[in-house]
């Protein structure tokens, strides 16, 4: 009998796996903070004998090297990946025995990266699961544009071929277990569903239902912007990430917070956007701890810039710190917990800004500026007539492009509008955060341009 445990990291939209039998197990694409993987092994009463990477990841810092060191496991990395640490290079067709009757076989699946490798778990010679990393996802494939722009079309064609290879070589009942595709920007399209098999993918995955030329054309047309921090993940992973450090940051008092703001550093308030709008430290930015903080903060902050975190509780701070180490923001410069009144010098007033809805926007009597901070693909499906468009990940670099006047800022649901409103307010702008679903814009009487 075999088992497969899934470790899901919702913030980055990834899944990691522990698979094995009665005594031994293999960890697939482990996260930087691999304590959940170790805990799963303890629950199962197994020893991790192998740690495998499907590819050099571009969206998160791997915990594979350190997990292998801690457990004494063999560290399997695709042979074509250029790395600067000792590992077991894996080529197409290589196989390792996890334990008696349970085998893991490497299958070359280039496309997401040139060296991408999937791993097929077989019990008594029968394939039962394929760990497909960034190759075959649920209904789609991993994006091919994260390595080198000149290789994008070539890799897109390789993605198509790799998907077909897996579909041809594996039985229909084989479980498909990707690392990406659950909200990750490594996915070339939004993946839907929670689980799948080779048979299901044959009928639903565009890579398997579309000819190669049509597939490539559609794939390349639909690619989103690449998060800026991705440029740092590959080199970090290829060089061998340092062990993770989740000890609490140094505590900052009100004077230090003010000094860090004055020095131009980022001070990030982790509270929800409603609480932030009602009262916050002037100049601070709002990235909700529960709102993909790793993706958006890492995407927007100048790389290496010191960041101070402000949290409601030690638990909220620790959770955010854990999210951030996954994308290489290792040590906050400082942190504080409590209430915003405790984060400003005595006698200093808190800053605030109002919130509204699309109905409120429709009923405004002034000539406000409507700022849309959604991605290009979202705006392409419809936008408010006359609105200015600056995607959230570009806003901090383009604040001077926002016209004068009160800014009514919106996104698709309110989260990104909250981030944008905090940045505009920190820059001294009059802002109104539209905390509402974009579907409400038409119902509110606003003119939404489509087509």
Sign, CA dihedral 260-271-232-332, equals positive
- How far, in Å, CA of 77 to CA of 88, rounded? 6
Kindly tell me if the per-residue pLDDT of 348 is higher than 90: yes
Could you give the 3-state DSSP secondary structure of residue 417? helix
Tens digits of residue pLDDT in 253-285: 999 999 999 999 999 999 999 999 999 999 999
Kindly tell me if the per-residue pLDDT of 97 is higher than 90: yes
SS (H, E, C) 210-265: CCHHHHHHHHHHCCCCCCCCHHHHHHHHHHCCCCCCCCCCCECCHHHHHHHHHCCC
Q: What is the mean pLDDT of residues 329-338?
A: 96
How high is the pLDDT of residue 189? 63
Could you give the 3-state DSSP secondary structure of residue 349? coil
Smallest CA-to-CA distance from 379 within 367, 370, 390 is with 390
Q: What is the mean pLDDT of residues 54-72?
A: 97
Kindly tell me if the per-residue pLDDT of 107 is higher than 60: yes
Contacting residues for 208 by C-beta, under 8 A, at least 6 apart: 163, 164, 167, 201, 202
Assess contact for 347 and 412: CB atoms under 8 A. Answer: no
Q: What is the mean pLDDT of residues 227-238?
A: 96
Q: What's 427's DSSP letter?
A: T
- How far, in Å, CA of 221 to CA of 376, rounded? 12
Neighbours of 363 (CB within 10 A): 11
Lowest pLDDT segment from 4-8, 263-267, 364-368: 364-368
Which stretches within 72-134 are classed as H helix? Answer: none
Query: Which residues on adjacent β-strands are paired with residue 177?
Result: 131
- How far, in Å, CA of 352 to CA of 375, rounded? 26
Kindly tell me if the per-residue pLDDT of 191 is higher than 60: no
Q: Percent of the chain at pLDDT above 90?
A: 92
Tens digits of residue pLDDT in 129-154: 999 999 999 999 999 999 998 999 99
Lowest pLDDT segment from 169-178, 185-194, 362-371, 393-402: 185-194
How high is the pLDDT of residue 28? 98
Listing DSSP states for 390-403 in one string gives --HHHHTT-GGGSP
Kindly tell me if the per-residue pLDDT of 190 is higher than 70: no
Kindly tell me if the per-residue pLDDT of 125 is higher than 80: yes
Smallest CA-to-CA distance from 201 within 243, 153, 139 is with 139
- pLDDT band at residue 182 using 50, 70 and 90 as cut-offs: confident
How high is the pLDDT of residue 134? 95
């Amino acid at each position: 009998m075999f088992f497969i445990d899934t470790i899901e990291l919702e913030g980055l939209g990834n899944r990691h796996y522990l698979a094995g039998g009665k005594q031994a197990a293999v960890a697939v694409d482990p996260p930087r903070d691999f304590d959940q993987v170790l805990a799963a092994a303890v629950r199962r009463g197994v020893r991790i004998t192998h740690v495998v990477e499907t590819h050099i990841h571009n969206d998160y810092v791997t915990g594979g090297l350190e997990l292998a060191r801690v457990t004494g496991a063999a560290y399997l990395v695709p042979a074509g990946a250029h790395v600067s640490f000792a590992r077991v290079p894996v080529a197409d067709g290589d196989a390792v025995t996890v334990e008696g009757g349970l085998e893991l076989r490497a299958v070359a699946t280039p496309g997401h990266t040139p060296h991408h490798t999937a791993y097929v778990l077989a019990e008594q010679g029968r394939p039962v699961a394929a760990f497909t990393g960034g190759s075959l996802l649920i209904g789609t494939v991993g994006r091919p544009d994260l390595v080198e722009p000149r290789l994008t079309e070539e890799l897109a064609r390789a993605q198509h071929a790799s998907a077909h290879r897996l579909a041809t070589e594996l039985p229909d009942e084989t479980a498909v277990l990707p690392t990406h595709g659950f909200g990750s920007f490594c996915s070339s399209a939004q993946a839907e569903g929670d689980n799948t098999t080779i048979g299901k993918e044959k009928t639903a995955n565009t890579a398997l239902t579309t000819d190669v030329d049509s597939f490539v054309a559609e794939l390349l047309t639909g690619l989103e912007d690449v998060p800026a921090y991705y440029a740092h993940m590959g080199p970090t992973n290829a060089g061998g990430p340092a062990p993770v450090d989740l000890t609490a940051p140094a505590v900052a008092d009100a004077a230090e917070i003010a000094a860090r703001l004055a020095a131009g550093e980022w001070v990030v308030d982790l509270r929800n956007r409603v609480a932030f709008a009602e009262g916050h430290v002037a100049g601070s930015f709002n990235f909700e701890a529960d709102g993909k903080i790793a993706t958006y903060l890492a995407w927007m902050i100048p790389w290496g810039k010191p960041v101070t975190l402000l949290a409601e509780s030690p638990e909220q701070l620790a959770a955010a710190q854990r999210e951030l180490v996954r994308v290489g923001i290792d040590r906050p410069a400082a942190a504080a917990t409590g209430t915003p009144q405790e984060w400003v010098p005595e006698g200093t007033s808190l800053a605030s800004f109002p919130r509204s809805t699309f109905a409120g926007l429709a009923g405004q009597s002034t000539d406000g500026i409507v700022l849309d901070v959604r991605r290009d693909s979202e705006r392409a499906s419809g936008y408010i007539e006359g609105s200015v468009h600056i995607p959230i990940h570009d806003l901090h670099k383009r604040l001077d492009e926002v016209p004068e006047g009160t800014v009514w800022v919106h996104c698709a649901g309110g989260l990104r509008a909250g981030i944008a409103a905090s940045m505009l307010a920190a820059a001294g702008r009059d802002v109104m955060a539209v905390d509402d679903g974009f579907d409400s814009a038409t119902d509110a009487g606003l003119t939404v341009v489509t087509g």
